């Protein structure tokens, strides 16, 4: 691999960044992050990056404000150190959920984040499975938008008998996402009618599609508190499904999520490592799929000027 390529990581997911580097045969580039006595972050790049092609890995995970600020300061330091190009690698872009003005006097924060990422020094962005495809258009710099769907296709083909399966979208907004998985698995799809009444509370109604007696595969972009999944399980059980399995790219798993999954009739849950899942959030029914090889190949292609889109042809 070219010596002009440098990969740095913030503190949000060092494990993923390290695996990306190992796949590429590189060492993780060195930086130091500390705090002043007033809690301000301090970042120092510990190697030469002048005229280098630099990638910074940092998903937007809790504490989100700190991880975002750390990314901004790292990129600004790299720009000051004369890096030739800076790519913000954001495996999980949490503010993609804020993509529209659906209440009075609120910020479309996804657009604000896109502007701030560019201002902080990013020349391009590499991310995965945005909550809304519209967020891609918020950026005025190039964005490479990866998907983990091929990993879930392989996972479900290996673990399930798909002859009697159906892919389920938990609301109309996720139908396009679930439809992509259903198409790759050559399966029918069903959609649950959902109304969100609060951040952690949803109300569901009818199921559109045939699920009775079938093995349901719920497919989401992320699992946060697990509130939507809990409601979906009740809805599908009432509709007579045979079994329930779950796939979600981003295993945020905050609050009561793990307990909800473990205590539910869900037979298996698959997430990727875009978000680091600590030991206390791991459980037998939760399987983690590593997307480090895909990010590594995308980084290699960006560095060499090859097509990233060709990865999914």
Q: What DSSP letter does each residue of 46-113 carry, written as one string?
A: -S--TT-EEEEE----SSHHHHHHHHHHHHHHHHHTT-SEEEEEES--GGGG--S--STT---HHHHH
Measured CA angle at 280 (ends 274, 284), to 5 deg? 80
Cα→Cα distances 84→87, 141, 271, Å: 10, 15, 34
The answer to whether residue 194 is catalytic is yes
Q: Kindly provide the b/e burial profile for residues 152-179, where b requires at least 16 CB atoms within 10 angstroms of the residue's own CB.
A: bbebbeeebeeeebbbbbbbeebbebbe
Residue linked to tokens 């990129």: 75
**Which of the residues 6, 194, 212, 285 is marked catalytic?**
194
Contact 18, 42 (CB under 8 A): no
Residues known to be catalytic: 194
């Amino acid at each position: 691999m070219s010596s002009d390529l440098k990969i740095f990581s913030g503190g949000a997911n060092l494990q993923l960044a390290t695996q990306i580097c190992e796949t590429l045969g590189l060492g993780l580039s060195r930086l130091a992050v500390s705090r002043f006595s007033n809690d301000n972050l301090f970042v120092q790049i510990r190697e030469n990056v002048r005229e280098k092609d630099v990638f910074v890995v940092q998903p937007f995970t809790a504490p989100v404000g700190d991880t975002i600020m750390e990314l901004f300061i790292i990129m600004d330091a790299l720009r000051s150190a004369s890096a030739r190009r800076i790519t913000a690698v954001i495996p999980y872009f949490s503010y993609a959920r804020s993509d529209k003005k659906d209440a009075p006097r609120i910020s479309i924060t996804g657009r604000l984040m896109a502007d701030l990422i560019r201002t902080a020094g990013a020349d391009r962005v590499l991310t995965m499975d945005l909550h809304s495809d519209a967020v891609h258009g918020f950026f005025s710099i190039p964005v490479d938008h990866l998907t983990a769907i091929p990993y879930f296709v392989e996972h479900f083909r290996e673990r399930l008998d798909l002859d009697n399966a159906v892919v389920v979208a938990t609301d109309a907004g996720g139908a396009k996402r679930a439809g992509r998985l259903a198409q790759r698995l050559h399966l029918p799809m069903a959609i649950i009618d959902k109304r969100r009444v609060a951040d952690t509370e949803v109300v569901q109604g009818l199921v559109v599609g045939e699920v009775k007696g079938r093995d349901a595969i719920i497919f989401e972009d992320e699992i946060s508190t697990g509130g939507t999944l809990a409601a979906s399980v009740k809805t599908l059980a009432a509709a007579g499904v045979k079994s329930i399995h779950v796939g979600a790219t981003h295993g945020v798993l905050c609050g009561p999520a793990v307990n909800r999954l473990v205590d539910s009739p869900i037979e298996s849950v698959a997430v990727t490592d875009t978000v680091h899942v600590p030991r206390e959030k791991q459980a037998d029914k939760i399987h983690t799929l590593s997307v480090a090889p895909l990010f590594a190949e995308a980084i290699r292609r960006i560095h060499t000027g090859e097509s990233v889109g060709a990865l999914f042809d």
